[in-house]
Amino acid sequence: MSTCTADSRNLGEPLSGTAPTASTWLLLEQPGPWGADALVSSHLDPAVGRALEAAARGTGVRVALIRRPGRHSDPGAPSLRRVYAAHTVPGRIWLRSAVTDDPSRLLDIDFAALGRGDHHGFDTALRGRPHTGDPLALVCTNGKRDRCCALLGRPLAAELTASGANGVWEVTHLGGHRFSPTVLVLPYGYAYGRAEAHTVKEVLHGVREGRIVLEGCRGGSAWERPGQAAELAVRAATGEYAAEALRVVRTQGRAPRWEVTVEHSDGRHWNVVVAQGASLPPRPESCGASVLGSPARMDVVALRERAPALAG
């Protein structure tokens, strides 16, 4: 039986420019089963889940639930839950962690400030501290949203954990079911699709050294989709893998065509033209879709390094 993942792979749908978008990720541990909209359909108090969704709206913060890989029959409410916050914009990258026995404490955070990269509200509300462990690998496994996430994501999370990889969590939703298994790696916030264990291990090794791996990369979550595609194109063209070397500093235009300016920390700039196309032929965008769709794709059609300004 065909799946959305198999169709996407067989049709060669590109991964670049498909990452979820968030300047800051806020992750709350919630064991047990998850529904399709996990913040309000898990064993988290749905009133808290709705309030977190409302607080994050329009702030650049994306809230998700996480749990350790393994069986998910409900063991009862944990006395302490792990909480992470990560800001993914180069120049202000950070990853903080905390524990709490009361998820409603997350509502004391200033979400607007958190989205801008200010972690003081997180630290005050939850006694947050810098995360000193391994980078986080968040594997989407929510089969209630799409069966591919469970069929492909859960075995990947289990394999990574069994191999001794630390920092592996299951996560509720990363978007792009058809690219399963999908993985988000923090603190830098790059997402990966069609992931295999050996690739994720290489990605995690690179993160420890401050490097980005391009194989299977969907883009950096700090940028909107045209910026994701432009930044990856500059990396591919220049061989620049340092995680914080590049920034998307300007995106002009609107669908279906943008001109994106990518800046290097050494002062170099590139103008990148990105065009939105449709992935053809039509295919199911998720296994639960009742109609076929033509997912938008981001195609880089021009890339030019800008000449340096002459000194006056």
Query: In angstroms, rounded to a whole number, what is the distance separating the alpha carbons of residues 211 and 242?
Result: 5
Strand residue runs (E) in 104-144: 129-130, 136-140
Which DSSP state fits 134?
Answer: P
What type of residue sits at position 284? P
Q: Give, as one character, the DSSP assignment of residue 103.
A: G
CA distance 135 to 185: 7
Residue 112 in contact with residue 142, Cβ under 8 Å? no
Q: Residue 154 is encoded by which pair of tokens?
A: 């859960």
Given this model, what pLDDT does residue 114 score?
98
Q: Is residue 261 classed exposed, middle or buried when 0-12, 13-18 and 19+ CB atoms within 10 A define those classes?
A: middle
What percentage of the chain has pLDDT greater than the value 90?
A: 75
Name the token pair of 8.
Answer: 């996407």
Rounded (to 5) percent helix, strand, coil in the chain: 25, 30, 45
- Class of residue 296 by CB neighbours under 10 A (exposed 0-12, middle 13-18, buried 19+): middle
Q: Helices 197-208 and 154-162, interaxial angle, to 10°?
A: 60
Structure tokens at 229: 């595609």
- Written as six digits, the tokens of 98 are 């905390």
pTM of the model as a whole: 0.93
Per-residue pLDDT of 219-242, as tens digits, reads 999 999 999 999 999 999 999 999
pLDDT at 286 over 80: no
Residue 297 clears pLDDT 90, i.e. is over it = yes
Quote the mean pLDDT of the chain: 92
Nearest residue to 184 via CA among 25, 5, 41, 38: 25
Predicted pLDDT at 232: 98
CB-CB contact of 201 with 34 (8 Å): no
Tell me, what's the pLDDT at 170? 95
**Alpha-helix residue ranges (DSSP H) falling in 103-172:** 111-116, 120-126, 147-148, 154-162
Task: Compute the average pLDDT of residues 80-105.
Answer: 97
The answer to whether the peptide bond before residue 181 is cis (omega within 30 degrees of 0) is yes
Can you give the pLDDT at residue 197? Answer: 94
Pick from 67, 76, 126, 127: which is nearest to 102 by CA?
Answer: 126
* Least confident range of 94-103, 131-140, 284-293: 284-293
Q: Could you tell me which residues come within 8 angstroms of residue 143 by beta carbon, excluding any fewer than 6 positions away?
A: 149, 150, 151, 154
Q: Which residue has the higher pLDDT, 82 or 294?
A: 82
DSSP H or E stretch at residue 171: strand 168-171
The two beta strands, 168-171 and 61-67, are antiparallel
Measured distance CA(263)–CA(266) in Å, rounded: 8
Residue with tokens 């200010």: 118
Neighbours of 82 (CB within 10 A): 16
- Least confident stretch, 11-25, 65-79, 171-185: 65-79
The residue-averaged pLDDT of 78-104 equals 95
- Tell me what pLDDT residue 153 has: 86
58 versus 164: the higher-pLDDT residue is 58
